Structure 1
Amino acid sequence: MSGRQYPTAVDVVIVGSGPTGAAYARILSERAPDASIAMFEVGPTVSQPPGAHVKNIADPAERSRAQAASEGPGARGEKVASPGAAKAGVRGARPGTFLLEEGFAFEGEDGLPVAAMSSNVGGMAAHWTGACPRPNDSERIGFLPDLDELLAEGERLLGVTTDAFDAAPFGDLVRDRLSAAVDEGRTAATRVQRMPLAVHRRDDGRLVWSGSDVVLGDVTRENPRFTLIDESLVTSVISTDGRATGVVVRDLRSGAEHEVRARFVVVAADALRTPQLLWASGIRPEALGRYLNDQAQVVFAARLRGVEPAASDAPVTGLAEQSGVSWVPFTDSMPFHGQIMQLDASPVPLAEDDPVVPGSIVGLGLFCAKDLRADDRVEFDDAHRDAYGMPAPRIHYTLTAHDREMVERARREIRRLAEAIGDPVGDQPFTLPLGSSLHYQGTTRMGVADDGTSVCDTDSQVWGVAGLYVAGNGVIPTATACNPTLTSVALAVRGARSIAAVFAREHADAALSER
């Protein structure tokens, strides 16, 4: 599957190996097996199989090395492993990610001070939490009539389950207490429930988290016409007469540049680097980089009341999981996405003589949807360059008065939820620095018309450039509070099917001509 032989021409080039790029490769391998595919990833291979989640690496030292190798070519900086460190005001990235060195905030604006990225085979899916909730109410993309079927296909590709934590001794207790506080007046689909997660449990009890390796699947890995080449920087998309015709890619090991011709180009970098590549290529729709939105995040902790320690012979699975992962879905009347899960340690100090039942400190997080504004944007120029030599992202981002009201409302709501399930730990909830969610969206947003408010059509094809597709969280056109990966993969499925349909028609036409 992997190699260093750069092709001169393929049917499809995919830029980026995260879950949406992997979804294009998977759907094409299933539906257009004769199509040749080259996937280029700027970062190294850090896990096996390529794209696997680093949490599946059993050796802590090996896992740390994989995370460090994912942190790009720039300064490493300080790492933040817990909300407690973020509360202390440290501008740091989580292990496996790296921050923008500059251009993350401007005077008079809020900016995204901890906007972060990963550079490795598998992208952020080698480091994510695996949460895959479906969008609800105004989070949904109303102009896609097939959204639910696409989401179901995304769940198949990501290996989503809801039963991996069924044995968690405090899981039902947490959900029962949350339900009593939340469920009244909600539909069955929006009541408190198990979080859908891209994870499964092996026969020996260990958890296996899905990365891009799961999305690619055996059908892609065994596809002789699919090639993945890591440490390869795509510096431009070539377009001729309104059509994408290939890419220029630089081998970061040798420095050599290659031109790879292609009938289709899929840019699936991330919500900052996908618009970066289009801008660098001179492809600059009016909405490119605009409508950038993150999810402000409020966190708190509570200690469960009236619980006893789990049995000492409970299985060791590589993760503290006594309370599992629970979900409070977003609704328009309660516009927050809630994620409630076991904390390995309290984010605030406890008294040394204060006995704590293992697993009884539960973390609560509420994510808020952003007011969508064209002025919230990532932009580029010729004067600023990033560590790869590409135009550096420059972020302009401001919370509206309504955004601030929603954050304050989330702070009140999270305290109410904490008190419902136990005794709050600490005096007040705290709001994480903007960018902490890592859920940046909107910069290559989908739309129904080329009217300057979107970058691509409903198949994710860029307006005015036939054969050029964009993928990732940036394509999502709505303001969401829920984790966006499932939605992004669903949209990638739609785009990949549209490409596969071209090959299917050509195959049918060829068969007819032979008769």
Structure 2
Amino acid sequence: MGIDYQLECTTIHTDVLIVGSGPIGAVYARKLVDAGHNVLMVDAGAQETEIPGEHKKNVADMTLNEFSSVIQNDLTPLSPSSSIPGASATLAIGGMSTHWTCVTPTPHPTLEAPKVIPEAQWDSLLVEAQELLNTDSTAFDNSERQNSVKNFLNSSGRNFTSTPIACQKDENGQIIYSSTSSILSHVLNSKKFTLLPSHLCTKIYKQNGSIVSASLTDLSTNTQKTVVAKQYILAAGAVLTPQILHNSGMAKGLPALGRYLTERMVGFCQVKLDKKLSVPGDVNVYEGVKEGKKWVTTINREAHQYGQLPENVDGGDVLDIRCMSPIEPNVENRVEFGEKGSDGMPSPSFTIYSSTADLKLAAKMITEMQSLATTLGSFVTEPRIMPLGTALHLSGTTRAGTSAEDSVVDANSKVWGVENLYLGGCGVIAEGMACQPTLTAVIYALQGVEGVKAGLSH
């Protein structure tokens, strides 16, 4: 697999270096390898599944409570004593795609969709992103309970649809959840692709407006390597990507770096279904934002790092209700970096405030959640607002925009003032979104990869 070089070599040459092996890095890699370019992908995490970046639901038969424990163990808190205690990263090949819920809704065209992507390109990018993730809105439609719950809710004026899920069904009807492995499936064995786990990118070096090299630490041997590439892509998450840029001395020229941090307020409760809805099958239904209601609602039974059922509760008739509303962009909401840790990287800390408008919206969301829940059944766990960061959807810290004064990258995800450096992931999303962000981040990557390919052709 991959680029021909000796492991003991200290300098690696390639066309493109991608830092981060989550779904966004995987999209960049797939498109670039398909275009005939040599790609080196590195990640600080280890390879934890036989197929790199496989969704762990696909490889182990576990109860939801057991899988919730897997998620808890896979999350590394980034700054647990800060104002956003839930902020975490998954340090493994595949990142959070090894355990994500795979919910991939289309953002509302006026309330959530990126403003920097031209409308003429949006539709085609959306279709391609959905195809890459295998987004399917019919995965649960054969379920009697799914249809019963959806019809019951919509008969009272709601607008629930089947949840769009990144998945496919195998020949036995078993759901196979999408992840880094499915995105990379047909390039994993290409001689043009190399994946190095347990390699931490600590710095990139800029000279005359271009990146000329990157430093890696091989965490398995504690040795140093240098990568010389033509194009560089950082897709290590909304915190670890700006961490690399800060450690590389690039913060001074990028005043918006780490700023405009956004996240979701999460409301959560569990209900035992009323007998009239107690029919066979699974449920996964979704209601998006609309004018006057900027929050999303998902009703299903899913594994999160929270929400395990007590052992004495029969989960057969229990559903989770999860609502999310945005914390809108604010220049003062930010991640900053302080003293260096044992890995040589500066430690992150967060400052984030919910505005009065954010709090009022969340309060309205919880009130409606309570009303919705009581129409479905009786509470198993009462509605509550979860700690900030629980959504694991941090965004905005490397936001896209039209000016270097209030953004880090342009509409093509290229860093301002640097010819060959692109960023990927939820960090580039500038808008305060309620919906799950992965599909939108993929759309940005599809836009960005065209710029990378253009740079390689020169």
Tell me if structure 2 keeps the 8 A contact 1:159–1:198: yes
SS in 2 for 1:24: helix
SS in 2 for 1:125: helix
State the distance in 1 between where 2:222 and 2:336 align: 27
Which residue of 381, 394, 410 maps to 1:457?
410
Aligned partner of 2:438 in structure 1 is 485
Aligned partner of 1:302 in structure 2 is 271
Which residue of 291, 296, 319 maps to 1:362?
319
Aligned partner of 1:406 in structure 2 is 361
In structure 2, give the amino acid aligned to 1:414. Answer: M
Tell me if structure 2 keeps the 8 A contact 1:266–1:469: yes
Aligned partner of 1:446 in structure 2 is 400
1:276 aligns with 2:233: no
Aligned partner of 2:232 in structure 1 is 265
SS in 1 for 2:263: coil
State the distance in 2 between where 1:307 and 1:346 align: 24
CA drift at 1:428: 3.8
Which residue of 343, 349, 352 maps to 1:397?
352
Aligned partner of 1:98 in structure 2 is 76
1:39 aligns with 2:11: no
Equivalent residues in 2 for 1:164-179 (5 A)? 164-179=139-154
CA drift at 1:449: 2.3
In structure 2, give the amino acid aligned to 1:192. Answer: F
State the distance in 1 between where 2:174 and 2:342 align: 38
CA drift at 1:192: 1.6
Equivalent residues in 2 for 1:40-79 (5 A)? 40-58=42-60
In structure 1, give the amino acid aligned to 2:230. Answer: R
1:330 aligns with 2:302: no
CA drift at 1:242: 1.1
SS in 2 for 1:178: helix
Q: 1:49 to 1:172 in 2, by over 3 A?
A: same
State the distance in 2 between where 1:454 and 1:243 align: 19
State the distance in 1 between where 2:235 and 2:336 align: 18
In structure 1, give the amino acid aligned to 2:137. Answer: T
State the distance in 2 between where 1:408 and 1:308 align: 28
1:247 aligns with 2:214: yes
Tell me if structure 2 keeps the 8 A contact 1:440–1:474: yes
Tell me if structure 2 keeps the 8 A contact 1:2–1:229: no
Aligned partner of 1:26 in structure 2 is 30
Tell me if structure 1 keeps the 8 A contact 2:400–2:408: yes
State the distance in 2 between where 1:205 and 1:427 align: 32
In structure 1, give the amino acid aligned to 2:372. Answer: L
Q: 1:101 to 1:480 in 2, by over 3 A?
A: closer
In structure 2, give the amino acid aligned to 1:393. Answer: P
State the distance in 1 between where 2:174 and 2:413 align: 37
In structure 2, give the amino acid aligned to 1:436. Answer: T
Tell me if structure 1 keeps the 8 A contact 2:79–2:85: no
Structure 1 or 2, whichever has the larger Rg, is 1
CA drift at 1:419: 2.5
State the distance in 2 between where 1:462 and 1:347 align: 41
CA drift at 1:473: 0.3
Which residue of 145, 149, 153 maps to 2:124?
149
Which stretch of the first structure deviates more once superposed, 464-473 or 134-143?
A: 134-143
Q: 1:308 to 1:438 in 2, by over 3 A?
A: closer
State the distance in 1 between where 2:91 and 2:284 align: 28
RMSD of aligned Cα (Å): 2.5
Instruction: String of CA shifts for 1:28-69, please: whole Å, max 9, x gaps.
Output: 122x21x211111101001121011111112659x98xx9xx
1:213 aligns with 2:217: no
Which stretch of the first structure deviates more once superposed, 228-237 or 153-162?
A: 153-162
1:497 aligns with 2:437: no
Aligned partner of 2:107 in structure 1 is 135
SS in 2 for 1:233: strand
Aligned partner of 2:262 in structure 1 is 293
Q: 1:48 to 1:160 in 2, by over 3 A?
A: farther
In structure 2, give the amino acid aligned to 1:323. Answer: D
Q: 1:387 to 1:414 in 2, by over 3 A?
A: farther
Q: 1:427 to 1:469 in 2, by over 3 A?
A: closer
Tell me if structure 1 keeps the 8 A contact 2:396–2:428: yes
SS in 1 for 2:111: helix
Instruction: String of CA shifts for 1:446-467, please: whole Å, max 9, x gaps.
Output: 00222x1100001100001110
State the distance in 1 between where 2:105 and 2:41 align: 28
CA drift at 1:445: 0.1
CA drift at 1:482: 0.5
State the distance in 2 between where 1:244 and 1:406 align: 43
Which residue of 300, 318, 328 maps to 1:341?
300
1:423 aligns with 2:401: no
State the distance in 2 between where 1:339 and 1:324 align: 10
State the distance in 2 between where 1:334 and 1:362 align: 22
State the distance in 2 between where 1:175 and 1:193 align: 7
The aligned length equals 446
CA drift at 1:300: 1.8
SS in 1 for 2:446: helix
Aligned partner of 1:317 in structure 2 is none
Tell me if structure 2 keeps the 8 A contact 1:301–1:425: yes
CA drift at 1:500: 1.6
Which residue of 84, 99, 104 maps to 1:112?
84
State the distance in 2 between where 1:281 and 1:436 align: 29
State the distance in 2 between where 1:238 and 1:346 align: 44
**Structure 1: gaps of 5 or more residues:** 68-79, 83-92, 106-110, 184-190, 312-321, 507-515
Tell me if structure 2 keeps the 8 A contact 1:12–1:38: yes
1:8 aligns with 2:12: yes
Which residue of 417, 421, 425 maps to 1:468?
421
CA drift at 1:346: 8.0
1:123 aligns with 2:95: yes
Q: 1:14 to 1:411 in 2, by over 3 A?
A: same
CA drift at 1:307: 4.1
Aligned partner of 1:85 in structure 2 is none
Provide TM-score, normalisation by structure 2.
Answer: 0.91
1:17 aligns with 2:21: yes
Provide TM-score, normalisation by structure 1.
Answer: 0.81
In structure 2, give the amino acid aligned to 1:252. Answer: L
- Percent of residue pairs identical: 29
In structure 1, give the amino acid aligned to 2:334. Answer: R
Tell me if structure 2 keeps the 8 A contact 1:289–1:378: yes
CA drift at 1:127: 1.2
Which stretch of the first structure deviates more once superposed, 257-266 or 296-305?
A: 296-305
